[in-house]
Amino acid sequence: MSTVTIPTPASSWPKMRGFRLAELGVLLFFCIVMALPILFMLIGSFNINPPGQPQVFGFDNWIRAFSDPQTLNALWMSFLFSIVRLIPSLTLAVIVAWLIARTDMPGGNTVEFLCWFAYFVPDFPLTLAWMLLLDPHYGFLNSMAMHLPFVTGPLFNPYSFWGIVFVHLGTGGIWLNVMLLTPVFRRLGASLEEAARVSGANTFTTLWRITFPVLSPMIIAIAVLSFIKGLESFNTELLLGLPARIYVYGTRIYDYLRQEPPAYGEATALGSVFLLVLFFLAFFYRRYLQGKKKFTVVTGSGYSTLRVKLGKWRYVAIGAFITWFLFMMVLPLTFLVIGSFMRRYGFFNISNPFTLSHWQNLFGDPLFIGSLTNSLIIASTTAILGIMIYSIVGYLLASKKLLFPALLEFFCWLPWVIPGILMSLGLLWIFLSTPLRGVLYGTVWGIALALTIHDSPVSTQAFKSAFMQLGPDLEEAARVSGASWRYTYRRILLPLVGPIAATVGMLNFGSALTSISTPVLLYSAESRPLSILLLEYSFTGEIERAAALGLLITFIICVMMLIGRGLGLRLTGPSREEAKPAAN
């Protein structure tokens, strides 16, 4: 019996050469833009001289930073804020996600869309609106409360610990957790819950004894991510914390670098110790998950189609959510609109309290035109770079043919562990200490690079999920036909994930447009984006113009969401109604 050898168009190495070059190129990119800033920051914390001068090493930066009582207090307040706001936000998010995914609450899809909408509303303009509502001197709610007979002073004060926690609950703390938890509840197998109901367990018992324990590893994972995102929070603490002299580590670093002369050493020492704390948290969290793997429940029963019947409570549930959404989102947005037209922000009792002059001054301000141009360049560059880079990374991770998969996954998730202001600080050291100073420091390109790094986790995971849904037959057919990996990826695979690419581009565009903590250390007068101009308006007392600009940014984000949604639906294909005639 003879052996027949079938010739192949080319050897396996040339076909895989483009794949290997892509893997090595991505790893090199991540090493330069993620690992190198961290290394520079850690080394720079021991450099006594400012960046750009001859290095002299010692412990003076650490001694000066941690001999200041405000430094230790800022570290403590960062963790305290994150823990305190995590508890109510996670609890409410779990309840809302469960109601959307597992119950017959009416309007579940609408509730989910409202959570997505609320998440993308910028937090800084909302904080300005809460100031208009809760300020002890001119806040609308305090003014209304003063008309009550038993009220003798202001009831609310946003410039306090609990005021900051409350504002955080309405500016993203809950909405992100709902977005992350809803798919988790949807994917839970139905067999255990149905067995509990057959055994006579009521809804609460099933939820408490079955659903939550089964999903506890994922809930804890999302809690840790939410905790780290809470540590990253900067905008609200900067606007509400500074008047009350409440500092977190991010605002303390900002304070160090804005004084004259800038205290680069102290800021870097504070950032380094915070970075070490985050790595310890990530290490113990990973150890915890490894120990919990044996408790993971995997079922083959598919998704649950039997929703929990709430009876009359279904209307109570939707009513409670609508009330919460109206109070935490619609009310501040309404007063943000009102505040942008007020002659004096918060003063309703003066004659002719409303005017168009703040909008006219905003559009006539040369700084606004320059900042708008910078923001559009930064956001567009971030969106394009995010699609180009993270589509390749997502494909590599989905292919299961990597030489260093764990290392690539680590780099992709690193920006979740490193808050934006710390990555900005690390990049600042690179820009100031290397020849890149003239190219990236204080330019729109340096800010766009920093924001592209910041968007790595979400962008990578979105593309990875999209590529994992594609069968291998298309790629195999292209290779049999003699196509190179680069040609196959560019002409076949990438067009198939067009809807995800459009979504990622819109998300990155919106994130770049509203981010403050990442560009706050990297901008100059020539590269100032809209978000930084909003910050400057707020700090110089031009609250009315800041409200107008914040409302404009919010409007741009909403328009981009609608465009992205429409583009995603168009790229996905014809609608169900359009498909029916074709099927007939």
pLDDT tens for each residue of 244-288: 888 888 888 888 877 777 777 777 787 777 777 767 766 666 666
The owner of tokens 């809950």 is: 174
| 36 pLDDT above the threshold of 50 | yes
* One-character DSSP codes across 242-256: GGGT---HHHHHHHH
100 residue type, one letter: I
| Separation of first and last alpha carbons in the chain | 53
Q: What is the pLDDT of residue 90?
A: 87
- Tell me the CATH number of domain 59-352, given options 3.40.50.720, 1.10.3720.10, 2.60.40.10, 1.10.600.10: 1.10.3720.10
Q: Residue 2 has what DSSP assignment? A: P
| 303 pLDDT above the threshold of 50 | no
The owner of tokens 């190179």 is: 484
- At 198, is the pLDDT very low, low, confident or very high (cuts 50, 70, 90)? low
CA-closest candidate to residue 163, choices 132, 131, 137, 141? 131
Burial class, 507, CB count within 10 angstroms (exposed 0-12 / middle 13-18 / buried 19+): buried
Crossing angle for the helix pair 174-186 and 108-120, nearest 10 degrees?
140
Integer Cα distance of 137 and 175 in angstroms:
30
Q: Residue 435 has what DSSP assignment? A: G
Integer Cα distance of 516 and 500 in angstroms:
26
Q: What is the pLDDT of residue 438?
A: 67
Residues spanned by CATH 1.10.3720.10 within the chain?
A: 12-44+356-573, 59-352
Task: Tell me if 546 sits within 8 A of 475, measured CB to CB.
Answer: no
pTM value? 0.74
205 residue type, one letter: T
pLDDT tens for 560-569 read 777 766 665 5
Q: State the chain's mean pLDDT as an integer.
A: 77
CA-closest candidate to residue 126, choices 333, 345, 324? 333
Which CATH number is associated with domain 12-44+356-573? 1.10.3720.10
Q: What is the pLDDT of residue 326?
A: 92
206 residue type, one letter: T
pLDDT tens for 329-378 read 899 988 888 888 887 776 777 777 788 888 888 888 888 999 999 999 99
Beta bridge partners of 342: 354
Q: Average pLDDT for residues 387-401, to the nearest whole number?
A: 81
Q: What is the pLDDT of residue 67?
A: 82
User: Exposure pattern of 248-264 as b/e (b: 16+ CB <10 Å)?
Assistant: bbbbbbbbbbeeeeebb
pLDDT tens for 139-173 read 888 888 887 888 777 888 888 899 888 888 877 77
Beta bridge partners of 311: none
Q: What is the dihedral of CA 111, 117, 123, 126, to 10 degrees?
A: -70
pLDDT tens for 233-249 read 777 888 888 888 888 88
The kind and range of the H/E element at 1 are none
193 residue type, one letter: E
Task: Tell me if 271 sits within 8 A of 45, measured CB to CB.
Answer: yes
pLDDT tens for 530-562 read 988 988 888 887 888 888 888 888 888 878 777
